[in-house]
Structure 1
């Protein structure tokens, strides 16, 4: 494939999904282009698969159409309603947060993900990425001006997915225990179904510079704060009794984020099984003894 090759099927497919959901929302191409600050020609090129759709722009389009990114990527026109007030609040997401379809990646981004996993960010070059994508180096630079832009796109992709899955899992629970268990299950599922994204997210944040490092770190902390809020709610109701909720919640997060280091999809335990087990581990930790087995040492005893 050269820099003048036809757009990939993933790029064309994502554009078609944007056009379908926009049509269902009753928003004209010109009006949506105005809302997301691009020309009608640019939006038309996106919808026709001639211009790749970045994660940031997908987020913006979803927000302006009043849907989630998953609504666009799964082409759910029926979800174009005011989900903030409807009886069907997040109903589509409630049924899909456990489902992991292949991501609609353009060839360059797909090649960058596999290359970063194989060589690390600093060991990768645009020439290697281009070769893995079956493109010319000039073709890669046409879509992504730098290796840094590829890393940012990958990390934003991971954060965008977590930012709809975790709230959807939470909202699918009937009480504080089920809500928190669902959130842990969703976090574990992400780290087993998207191990390459998770691995890059855990290992390459150090390769970013500000302002992107601060921005993406803040998105990561948003996920942690969602977990913290549910644990705090469980403490208030007496469902969770650990004397160290802050540390317990971070231990639970780390437990999930470490899954790509050892979990294998072809192993004896499935992604769903390990996610359910981890959710139970988390609840057991938070329902710990009213007083610790050993008292925490004073700071000068460490």
Structure 2
């Protein structure tokens, strides 16, 4: 866990806490991560958690309900942290961008398994998918506003803020495909590297 420059505790958006799930959601996360949404069955999830299928249905309407709960937990947390990180940057677009990229990457690494199943969102029914897409759009808007503010202030030098924003978010969202907690780099190290990459993507040439 990182600390502030003055030695105090890190701001809330930088804090890394253990992921706490109910036994049912924990089993669903394992199943979806191991087998994907279509490869998992309610019976398998119930077996993993040690309950009957009717008992599982008492808590969640169907298998999609489990996926929705997990995706909303992950994306909602990233959005909240991105907002806090952005606000903590004040009026400086460079600091805001570093903060927000760091906040996103910390979650993509610290909770890589939860982030990885976001790829299963393509199997959501239309209403659930629209809610998911709205959250993703809110995250994108935060970064896009930062990039545009940086261009307006002369801090950033890029021709296409929207495409640059998609590139920044795309590299962050790809992290769960390769990141493993047993690897050489921890969440803080990966966040620092990706924040530096993002800064170079928008920096004036010279």
- With normalisation by structure 1, the TM-score equals 0.63
1:287 aligns with 2:203: yes
Measure the CA separation in 2 of the matches of 1:261 and 1:105.
22
Cα distance between partner residues in 2 of 1:180 and 1:244: 16
Is 1:95 the counterpart of 2:11 in the alignment? Answer: yes
| Aligned length in residues | 196
Instruction: Tell me the distance in 1 between the aligned counterparts of 2:156 and 2:145.
Output: 12
Which 4+ stretches in 1 moved above 2 angstroms? none
Shift of 1:244: 2.2
Distance (whole Å) between structure 1 residues aligned to residue 39 and residue 12 of structure 2: 36
TM value normalised by structure 2: 0.91
Deviations 1:144-168 (A, max 9, x none): 1200111111111112101211011
What CA deviation, in whole Å up to 9, does each residue of 1:267-286 have, x standing for no partner? 22221011011001101100
For the residues of structure 2 that align with 1:167 and 1:154, how far apart are their CA atoms?
A: 20
Matched residue, 1:180 = 97
1:242/1:289 contact within 8 Å kept: no
What SS is found at the alignment partner of 2:126?
Answer: coil
**Higher-helix-fraction structure:** 2
Distance in structure 1 (CA, Å) of the matches to 2:121 and 2:111 = 17
Out of 25, 42, 45, the position equivalent to 1:129 is 45
- The residue that corresponds to 1:156 in the other structure is 72
Alpha-carbon deviation of 1:289?
A: 3.0
Structural mapping, 1:120-269, within 5 Å: 120-174=36-90, 175-201=92-118, 203-269=119-185
CA distance in structure 2 between the partners assigned to 1:288 and 1:249 by the alignment: 16
Q: Which has the higher contact order (CA 8 A, sep 6+)?
A: 2
| Equivalent residues of 2:82, 2:104 under 8 A apart | yes
Task: Mark the runs of 5 or more structure 2 residues left unpaired by the alignment.
Answer: 1-9
Matched-pair contact (CA < 8 Å) for 1:192–1:259: yes
2-side partners of 1:143 and 1:226: how far apart?
Answer: 34
Structure 2: distance between partners of 1:229 and 1:133: 43
The 8 Å contact of residues 185 and 279 in structure 1, kept in 2 or not, is answered as: yes
Deviates more, 1:273-282 or 1:170-179: 170-179
Q: What is the CA distance between 1:249 and its match in structure 2?
A: 1.3
**Unmatched runs of 5 consecutive residues or more in structure 1:** 1-93, 291-302
Flag the structure with larger Rg.
Answer: 1
